[in-house]
Structure 1
Amino acid sequence: MNLNDLSLFIRVVETGSFTAAAESLNVQKSTISRRIAQLEDTLGIRLIQRTTRKLKLTTEGEELFSRAQPLVDDLEAVQDDISASRTELRGRLRLTMPTEIGVFMMNEVISSFMANYPRIEVDVELSTRTVDLIEEGVDLTLRLGPLPNSSLIARHIAGLHRGLFATPAYLEQYGMPKTPDDLARHHCITLLKPFDHLRFSNWNNHEPVSMGGRLRTNSLSFVREMILQNMGVGRLPEVFCSDLVGDRRIIRVLGDFNLEPLEINALYASRRNLNPRVRAFLDHMTERLRDHPWVQSRLVHLAG
């Protein structure tokens, strides 16, 4: 039995189609189809029932997949470890993350990682959409906020500290909120898909707080710009607008009430947790972000 053909079979099953497997491996679909046919000929059994709509395993295919997957994963991990011990890490690393996290927080992390590992190629998708790591062949994704239950492995990376901000012109017209409950009567700029509810660690037993307003977006950069247009109160990472606070172009709102930090987690498929490229990136990212200004403790001077 050809182990490469067996690995392709496992990849097809994991991704759910020949097309998805081909895209994740950057090979022709016809190549994968031919190799799977060769594997079936070698074994003398049909593994996959091919239909126009979806892929369905035969009974023999299901048994082969369940028994061979852990063995192939272990073998790949051994091969990766041996290669890593003898040569520089190489290959492609596929990452996804929210846009502003990538542009303002992960920019230096990725550039320094690529400088340290010149033979690793990196694909980065900046998006707020939820990515299926197995289906799309992604090695690691960064997600914000509480995590749903899943089979993925999560590593806590940092806590993102945020504040509420508005312009002096807006506050002169609508008044300064005195307590978090006042936000329900204000024009607030919120996110289309909020990463978490608005909660304060020292208010109303951490219960969610309502935010009024008509404007929603999926971009923190747009929130920042709309605050500057006097459109209302927005929630942003503190250092994302520290220059505007320093120039008094915007003012910290409800500075005596502490917003709970937003969790940043790295997620990756459990079967890849020994991949040297993923492990190297996780370790590098954790180290570089330890002192990053976006994840430092609250900036006291912003409370004014």
Structure 2
Amino acid sequence: MNLNDISLFIRIVETGSFTSAAESLGIQKSTISRRIAQLEDDLGVRLLQRTTRKLKLTDDGEELFARCQPLINELDSAKDHLSATQNNPRGRLRITMPSELGVFMMNEIVSTFMQRYPQIMLEVELSTRVIDLIEEGIDLAIRVGELADSSLIARKVATVSRGLYASPAYLTKQGTPKTPDDLQNHECYGILKAVEYWEFDNWHEPVEVKGQLKANSISFIREVLLQNMGVARMPRVFCRNCVNRGELVEVLSDYASPPIEVHALYPSRRHLNPKVRLFIDHMMEMIGDHPWVNEQMVTPVSTHNHS
């Protein structure tokens, strides 16, 4: 029985298909099929029932997976640990982050990390969807905003200042709000999971807002603002060029919008990928100088169980 074939079997079960396992490992699907067939011959049992639509574990397959997954994880952890402590750490690191954060903030951080550690292979998914890191084999998630309850470790990475923005044409037509309460008479756009109330640091209570649009992309919302539609709360640096060109105007600047926090999330399991620590350390070295981060708002990094 070949340990590499056992590892392939574990990966197939974790990803849910031969195709996904092949893509994640960078090998041919036919190679995986041949090696799993060899593993079944060596063991003398059927491990997987294969159909055109899905995979189903046999009873023997379920037992092998339950017994071997922890062992394979421990072996992978040992290899990762040895790699991370060497001068040239190697292996794979899987990261997920929102699209805008990746495109406008993390691209330089990822690029310089690759230059610093050329033997580490990065897989980056740009998505705001809720991901079970352990279930999907993701090592690190970078998230913006309020965190959902979970058993993950949360480490604050940065604090980003925000403001309220609208186009001059929209304000000419609908009027410029003078106080946060005036927002109740405006179209207020936000991200999909945003709450229905906007808070202000120096206003007596949260303001209930409503709008015809919610989206999971601040780039998209900004483009809608440029079509002379509504008011939105955005990172200041994200709207700076539009303001300089006179395309957008910051409103209610005397009423401070709470900043938004960026966190790194990773599993609290014992076999945590050590390359996560390398990436976080590298990110913390660079992020304080990034224009998305308001230097006056950068706070000491803290790490805590998020539960």
Q: Same fold by TM-score, threshold 0.5 exceeded?
A: yes
Instruction: State how 1:1-304 maps to structure 2 within 5 Å.
Output: 1-130=1-130, 138-149=138-149, 154-191=154-191, 193-202=192-201, 203=203, 205=205, 207=206, 209-212=208-211, 214-245=212-243, 250-268=248-266, 274-296=272-294
TM-score (norm: length of structure 2):
0.79
Segments of structure 1 that go 5 or more residues without pairing to the other structure are 300-304
Identity across matched positions, percent: 59
Displacement after TM superposition at 1:125 (Å) = 4.0
- Cα distance in 1 for residues equivalent to 2:255 and 2:27: 54
Q: What is the SS of the residue equivalent to 2:198?
A: coil
- Cα distance in 2 for residues equivalent to 1:32 and 1:270: 31
Displacement after TM superposition at 1:250 (Å) = 3.5
Displacement after TM superposition at 1:164 (Å) = 0.4
Q: Which of 235-244 and 73-82 deviates more?
A: 235-244
Is the CA contact 1:161–1:297 (under 8 Å) kept in the aligned structure 2?
Answer: no
Displacement after TM superposition at 1:236 (Å) = 1.0
Alpha-carbon RMSD across the aligned residues, in angstroms, is 3.2
- Cα distance in 2 for residues equivalent to 1:277 and 1:63: 30
Displacement after TM superposition at 1:134 (Å) = 6.2
1:156–1:251: structure 2 CA closer, same or farther, 3 Å change rule? same
- Cα distance in 1 for residues equivalent to 2:142 and 2:152: 12
Q: What is the SS of the residue equivalent to 2:85?
A: helix
Paired letter, 2:35:
R
Aligned length: 296
Q: What is the SS of the residue equivalent to 1:256?
A: coil
- Cα distance in 2 for residues equivalent to 1:14 and 1:33: 16
Is the CA contact 1:163–1:235 (under 8 Å) kept in the aligned structure 2?
Answer: yes
- Cα distance in 1 for residues equivalent to 2:176 and 2:65: 62
Paired letter, 1:111:
S
Q: What is the SS of the residue equivalent to 1:36?
A: helix
Displacement after TM superposition at 1:131 (Å) = 5.1
Is the CA contact 1:14–1:134 (under 8 Å) kept in the aligned structure 2?
Answer: no
1:154–1:16: structure 2 CA closer, same or farther, 3 Å change rule? farther
- Cα distance in 2 for residues equivalent to 1:59 and 1:204: 61
TM-score (norm: length of structure 1):
0.80
- Cα distance in 1 for residues equivalent to 2:15 and 2:151: 15
- Cα distance in 1 for residues equivalent to 2:170 and 2:296: 24
Displacement after TM superposition at 1:271 (Å) = 5.9
Displacement after TM superposition at 1:252 (Å) = 2.4
- Cα distance in 2 for residues equivalent to 1:164 and 1:181: 13
- Cα distance in 1 for residues equivalent to 2:165 and 2:94: 35
Is the CA contact 1:161–1:298 (under 8 Å) kept in the aligned structure 2?
Answer: no
Is the CA contact 1:73–1:271 (under 8 Å) kept in the aligned structure 2?
Answer: no
Segments of structure 2 that go 5 or more residues without pairing to the other structure are 298-307
- Cα distance in 1 for residues equivalent to 2:118 and 2:164: 41
Is the CA contact 1:146–1:196 (under 8 Å) kept in the aligned structure 2?
Answer: no
Q: What is the SS of the residue equivalent to 1:295?
A: coil
- Encode CA deviations 1:7-32: one digit per residue, 9 max, x unaligned: 11211121122222122112222222
Q: What is the SS of the residue equivalent to 1:157?
A: strand
- Cα distance in 2 for residues equivalent to 1:254 and 1:101: 25
Displacement after TM superposition at 1:100 (Å) = 1.9
Q: What is the SS of the residue equivalent to 1:294?
A: coil
- Cα distance in 1 for residues equivalent to 2:179 and 2:148: 31
- Encode CA deviations 1:137-166: one digit per residue, 9 max, x unaligned: 654333333344556554433333211012
